[in-house]
Amino acid sequence: MKRFTITIAVCFLVNYIFGQEDSTFLKEIRNIPEVTINATGQTVFKQPNIHLLDFHIDEKGKYLLLKGKKNYFLSRLDEELKMKSTVLLSFKPERLHRDCLGDLQIISADSIYRVQEQTDEIGVYEPNSISFYRDYYADCMGETNNYLLYKFFSNANQTVTFNAIDKYDHSLRMVYRAEDTIQVLAAIDWKKQIESDAYSFNGQMQEINTIQLAASRDKFQDLMFYTFVVSKPDYIPLFVWENEICIFDHYNDVLVRFDPNRLDKPVVQPISYHKHPGWKKELLYDAVTKTVYTTFSVNGHLYITELSKTDFSPVKSIQIHNNSFPARLIVHDGFLYYDYTSSFEDAYKKLFRQQL
């Protein structure tokens, strides 16, 4: 019981500290060159009685996953952001996913459907089981000419390991391992205590009095804290850009680059943008302009910040003015795309494009 009470107190203290720093960072973000507080943009998709479930926009196409009153659709936009083609879906989709091999997939509750993108008319292939997605695609981060790159978690999700699987002989080699040793030890200790509490509780199940019931509640709260806080993995993304492997190790404050032909010769450089309060643990890449962006939440407002192409320091920031909590952000060709709703009365999601 003591441990949980102390934990709550620490959480309140952390929230208070970050709340105090927000105003300071707001001043800093306004002082970044070329800051725009309200940027111009346009609504890309807005149809009455049509709900935007998801969207995906990149150099291969602009796609919308839509829900009408009874039916579901996948639509593709042309370069002028007008409807180019639409296909009726015979299943209930949940989201779109561009996998590590470059194929666009539609994910449903129990299946995965690959989209035919090669012709003017889009189509959808026969489904595979969702377990196929979990086994082969969910942890696949990218590919090079010779390798598929996968991410694995261990030590209560506090250790991240990136492995490369050779496409030809299927051999596996470790590329990089990221962890905070203090967090690893703390998470393992928490896990041991949770398992010990569970064993002790199971042994007392035949006779439960009010004291034991209160203890079981505390143990359940500890379990929830471990599940949603202690064992939550940090954001350590991997990108493949122009056949170069880039790992942003936010545990150790470094960007690690690899030539795919020399995986034993990493090039390391320091990064610090993620140390600012309000960082949203998100990186966005514009493949057309070859620019990296990140996001910050400051006093209830969401900002997208362009990072330098050399040292990845902040260059300029723009406030996202239509939605402080969009479900998805995508940058493409100098524009930011995100979903929004215009009012509580009009709950249908729309797609907005904002110039960066």
Over the range 312-338, which residues count as b (16 or more CB within 10 Å of their CB) and which as e? Answer: bebebbbbbbbbeebeebbbbeebbbb
Instruction: Note whether 54 and 326 are within 8 A (CB).
Output: no
Determine which helix (DSSP H) or strand (DSSP E) holds 76, and give its type and residue range: strand 72-77
Range 215-236 average pLDDT: 76
- Tens of pLDDT, residue by residue over 293-317, are 999 998 888 999 999 999 999 999 9
User: How many angstroms separate the first and last alpha carbons of the chain?
Assistant: 50
CB atoms within 10 A of CB 192: 10
Distance CA 11, CA 16 (A): 9
Edge to edge, the sheet with strand 172-179 lists 140-143, 147-154, 159-166, 172-179
253-291 tens-digit pLDDT: 999 999 988 998 999 999 999 999 899 999 999 999 999
pLDDT digits (tens, 9 = 90+) for 128-165: 999 988 888 889 999 999 999 999 999 888 899 999 99
Q: Which two tokens stand for residue 141?
A: 């981060």
Contact 103, 114 (CB under 8 A): yes
pTM above 0.95, yes or no: no
210: which residues sit within 8 A by CB, 6+ positions away? none
- Euclidean distance between CA atoms 340 and 346, whole angstroms: 10
10 Å CB burial of residue 85 (0-12, 13-18, 19+) is: middle
